[in-house]
Amino acid sequence: MKKYTVLLILLLLTGCKFYDEYKMPEEVNIELSENKFEVYSEKTISDLISDSNVEITNEDKELKTNKLGKKEIEIEYKYDKRDYKYIVDYEVIDTEAPFVMRISNYRSTLVDEEIEFCEGYSVIDNYDRKPTCSIVGDYDLSIPGTYYLKYEIKDKSGNITNEDLTFEVFEEWPIYDDYDEEDEEEHYTRFSDLKKKYKNKDVMLGIDVSAWQDKIDYDAVKDAGAEFVIIRMAYSDMETEIFLDKRFEENLKNAKAAGLKVGVYVYTSANTKEEALKQAKFIKKHLNKVKLDFPIAYDFEEWRDFNSLKMNSHDLLERVNDYKSILEKDGYDIMIYGSKWYLENVWPKNDYDTWLAHYVDETNYKGDYILWQLCSDGLIDGIYGYVDLDIYYKK
């Protein structure tokens, strides 16, 4: 007992203090900056700190921003050769309004007939997987006339997007004069013309195909000047079951035999991690480590029925990541296929290679892309009917 008493006296005389790692010494200064961050933003502890006079040892630790609400995290620092911790709060918020992909700006009905205004609309949000749709403005189904209304698309965070709606109520349906539509001249793009306009040492010209092209004479395709083919390997329906293209194996074998460079694409509607991984394993199994000359193209086009998939824009990119997590084990890369409008307005920013679909003579797409699908009405020897024509830009 005496020795503990002596020890206590010595501690008091020498001014030593008990060490508490959570008690900040008076000499330490850690100034915090903004503590509100957007959902899914990539932030670290360093983003929480504006200034400090100590060494922060875990400043690269990522903040959890995948869910809204208040969070806390421990800042670890060194002072006077000791390790300390400082608990700070931050909040994950969502200030981005839903983005409308498709909505009808004109609706009509007959007097006293009900109408579902929000039927058939398609929106995507950065966080909410099911934004709500309602109508703002007054109208009377019993009184014929034109009403100027607004759609109100609202997410769970209260962010709102408005779209104009002209709504007409008729006593009886109007009769419009019949008119003769002039016959449009058939349009097509010959592969030979593609060569004349675009071929140079920095590009390769090719096609992309599926079972819709039926049996293909790849020797004739190659003789016509095509250097590569991107083949549909598989597709999934809205039930997310995946099926092998019935001509995939035939196309792959014959294209390689003809000396063409080969890539594949998968048309997918996977909306969950489970489904994406399942599909990727299906692709991995049927590729069986065959050599490909291009990244596997992830082709998502279910925009019309997007709401039924209950996805946000973050989920959209995560499904690509799911595919990559399986297929990269066999040495395959992934690229995203998309039309110009969806690449610019819907797909989140990412580091994947891009296969651009834009049916024009000269694209004004500003993003990076390695492949350009410039038409769907191509004609080339070896294929009966139309085929997509593509340009690959050599790296």
User: In CATH, what number is assigned to the domain containing residue 249?
Assistant: 3.20.20.80
CA dihedral angle for residue 238, residue 239, residue 241, residue 243, rounded to 10 degrees: -40
**Which of 127, 143, 170 is where one domain is finished?**
170
Query: CA–CA separation, 262 vs 255, rounded Å?
Result: 7
Strands 69-79 and 82-93 come out as antiparallel
Nearest to 210 by CA among 238, 233, 242: 233
**Which of 93, 122, 139 is where one domain is finished?**
93
Average predicted confidence (pLDDT) for the chain: 93
- Asked if residue 28 lies in contact with residue 53, where contact means CB atoms within 8 angstroms, the answer is yes
Residue 85 lies in a domain: yes
Task: Look up residue 283 and give its two tokens.
Answer: 């692709």
Q: Which residues of the chain have pLDDT under 50?
A: 4, 6-11, 13-15
**What is residue 183's predicted lDDT score, i.e. its pLDDT?**
52
Beta strands in 61-139 (DSSP E): 69-79, 82-93, 99-102, 106-110, 122-124, 132-136
**Which of 68, 93, 118 is where one domain is finished?**
93
Residue 177 lies in a domain: no
For residue 259, is it left (φ>0), alpha (ψ between -120 and 50) or beta? Answer: left
**What is residue 10's predicted lDDT score, i.e. its pLDDT?**
46
Residue 181 lies in a domain: no
Q: Environment class of residue 210 by beta-carbon count within 10 Å: exposed (0-12), middle (13-18) or buried (19+)?
A: buried
Helix axes 273-287, 313-327, angle to 10 degrees: 30
Residue 184 lies in a domain: no
Task: Look up residue 272 and give its two tokens.
Answer: 């969950």
Query: CA–CA separation, 50 vs 31, rounded Å?
Result: 6
Residue 11 lies in a domain: no
Same domain, 245 and 327: yes
Residues β-bridged to residue 375: 389
Number of domains into which the chain is organized: 3
What amino acid occupies position 82? R
Phi, psi of 254 (to 5 degrees): -75, -35
Same domain, 104 and 236: no
Same domain, 362 and 236: yes
**What is residue 7's predicted lDDT score, i.e. its pLDDT?**
46
Residues β-bridged to residue 354: 336
Task: Look up residue 302 and give its two tokens.
Answer: 């279910």
* Rounded-to-5 percentages of helix, strand, coil across the chain: 20, 35, 45
User: ∠ at Cα 366 (365, 369), nearest 5°?
Assistant: 75
- 132-136, strands of its sheet edge to edge: 106-110, 160-170, 145-154, 132-136
Residue 179 lies in a domain: no
Domain around 336:
189-393
Q: Environment class of residue 268 by beta-carbon count within 10 Å: exposed (0-12), middle (13-18) or buried (19+)?
A: buried
Same domain, 50 and 155: no
Same domain, 237 and 374: yes
Number of neighbouring beta carbons within 10 Å of residue 180? 5
- Asked if residue 352 lies in contact with residue 369, where contact means CB atoms within 8 angstroms, the answer is no
Residue 176 lies in a domain: no
User: In CATH, what number is assigned to the domain containing residue 22?
Assistant: 2.60.40
CA dihedral angle for residue 29, residue 30, residue 31, residue 37, rounded to 10 degrees: -170
User: In CATH, what number is assigned to the domain containing residue 107?
Assistant: 2.60.40.10
Strands 122-124 and 82-93 come out as unpaired
pTM of the model: 0.89
Residue 180 lies in a domain: no
**What is residue 195's predicted lDDT score, i.e. its pLDDT?**
95
H helix or E strand, kind and range, residue 99: strand 99-102
